[in-house]
Structure 1
């Protein structure tokens, strides 16, 4: 075993003792970041090239600072995004909803599908759709100034800025001027119940922006309001996708009743077979 791999093993034990959920992966990611290699290339780092700054990063992670804040990057589908304090770190679970949305958009008989991403955060959803559905036009809405700055940077660096419009606004009222014309509305809104604050990992509770997390005692306050947003923005036959938390999959479909013009309201599961996002379609005229 070379020095870097030996230090990674020691770091793994330290992170596990600190309660980090994926200690080995995080120890390797930090080592790869510090030494400028891929995780699978750590064995190629010579003992003389070991960088002691690695242990500074490990100490930060052991203090439960998010891995992505330390490395300054987050991976989402085919993207490497810039992230840091002030922006919600995109999660792998959201990739499943985005995959569904991309399939729906590709199957639409629409030349240039119009998409709205509410609460864009880092821009992960908006950029992924623009990249993987090349004729799409995406509007990304974000209220928080710091998060919008991160999104703007990622959008600019993505190479798809010509088809993504960022809006500084509240997801309940923005964007304006698109009423009744949107083909797909997608959102990862705040859905964490305030009653769950004591059970949330410190990486999330202490570092993700509060407005991106909390949404009332049951976590559904914002989603209740988004039903009216969907009715306002979507064209007849348009689709809406909303990510949600564990245990909320039973209640959310009731918020999109047929009497208000919703059809095909379904829950979809993530890779862990847990209900993860709800989809609904606006009734045709």
Structure 2
């Protein structure tokens, strides 16, 4: 029996693209290149110079491509989600961070000039890790309550300056020692309205509580607003990602609280409403402690 021969990377990529395209994967070429680079252990940008795949690597690539064709998230297959300027370990049990959320991080870094940052609903820790990498002198807290997500968060925060806090973001006692002292709160909470159709990768692999939040998607954000108002110092900033149907609703919640000013909504690169921001007013209309 003739031994299987090595396969050059360009042929392997073509074959992978054909499989992924037939399966309806949205970005077959990109995914094929990322999986091939992963198997070869080289950066995607170096694929043209990569060696041929030996039979073992070629077999492994075919397995990964078959899994991706079944809509297993690409990041679960590689074990990592690139986010901002960090690589975040992800897998079953934790929400995969999306590139759109990098816009929220960029905004946060543009207004943050002090030292205390809180990332609520941290999940894998992507936001906290990105901020800590960009602002090494900052004190960054990452809050998560889900046990499975906490495992990933702790793994990602190991050997970094990020301080992991296990807790419910709606708990009035959460980080009570920081009340009135936080410079920036960032949050990518669950916000999809229940029953909304989502891609297979989300429906089958992202944890339901990390995606959906009640009939209109605003259940958790409603509870977050007063807690964040207590955490922030006067002049501190809040940024929260939301569903693309919430471009008016989330700013309205922030204004109705009475303790925020400079409320704005921001669009993503596709022009869709993506996140809202507000500043903790220095003189609040309704400066109460609830």
Work out whether the TM-score is over 0.5.
Answer: yes
Q: 1:131 pairs with 133, 150, 161, which one? A: 133
Q: Within 2, Cα distance between the matches of 1:16 and 1:218?
A: 34
Shift of 1:44: 2.9
SS state at 1:257 partner: helix
The 1:136/1:5 distance shift into structure 2, 3 A limit, reads same
Partners of 1:195 and 1:218 within 8 A in 2? no
Asked which structure has the greater CA Rg, the reply is 2
Residue of structure 2 in register with 1:191 after alignment: 191
Q: Within 1, Cα distance between the matches of 2:151 and 2:143?
A: 12
Residue of structure 2 in register with 1:250 after alignment: 248
Partners of 2:108 and 2:239 within 8 A in 1? yes
Shift of 1:39: 1.5
Q: 2:146 pairs with 129, 136, 144, which one? A: 144
Partners of 1:141 and 1:175 within 8 A in 2? no
Shift of 1:45: 3.4
Q: Within 2, Cα distance between the matches of 1:193 and 1:136?
A: 34
Q: For residues 231-270 of structure 1, what are the structure 2 equivalents within 5 Å?
A: 231-257=229-255, 260-270=258-268
Structure 1 residue runs of 4 or more that deviate by more than 6 Å after TM superposition = none
Partners of 2:9 and 2:53 within 8 A in 1? no
Partners of 2:20 and 2:69 within 8 A in 1? yes
Q: Within 1, Cα distance between the matches of 2:223 and 2:158?
A: 31
Shift of 1:259: 6.1
Residue of structure 2 in register with 1:102 after alignment: 109
Residue of structure 2 in register with 1:18 after alignment: 23
Shift of 1:29: 0.5
Q: Within 1, Cα distance between the matches of 2:175 and 2:167?
A: 7
Instruction: Determine whether 1:36 maps to 2:41.
Output: yes
Q: CA RMSD for the aligned pairs?
A: 1.5
Q: Within 1, Cα distance between the matches of 2:116 and 2:51?
A: 51
Q: Within 2, Cα distance between the matches of 1:232 and 1:46?
A: 56
Q: Within 1, Cα distance between the matches of 2:79 and 2:255?
A: 42
Unaligned runs of 5+ in 1: none
Give the TM-score taking structure 2 as reference length.
Answer: 0.90
Q: Within 2, Cα distance between the matches of 1:259 and 1:244?
A: 17
The 1:272/1:242 distance shift into structure 2, 3 A limit, reads same
Unaligned runs of 5+ in 2: 1-6, 284-290
How many residues were matched structurally? 273
Partners of 1:238 and 1:282 within 8 A in 2? yes
Residue of structure 1 in register with 2:209 after alignment: 211
Shift of 1:48: 5.7
The 1:259/1:99 distance shift into structure 2, 3 A limit, reads closer
* Offset from partner CA, 1:184-211 (integer Å, 9 cap, x none): 1110000011120xx2001111101111
Partners of 2:116 and 2:183 within 8 A in 1? yes
Give the TM-score taking structure 1 as reference length.
Answer: 0.92
| Mean Cα deviation higher: 275-284 or 11-20 | 11-20
Instruction: Determine whether 1:80 maps to 2:78.
Output: no
The 1:176/1:19 distance shift into structure 2, 3 A limit, reads farther
Shift of 1:93: 0.2
Partners of 2:225 and 2:257 within 8 A in 1? no
Shift of 1:215: 0.3
SS state at 1:266 partner: strand
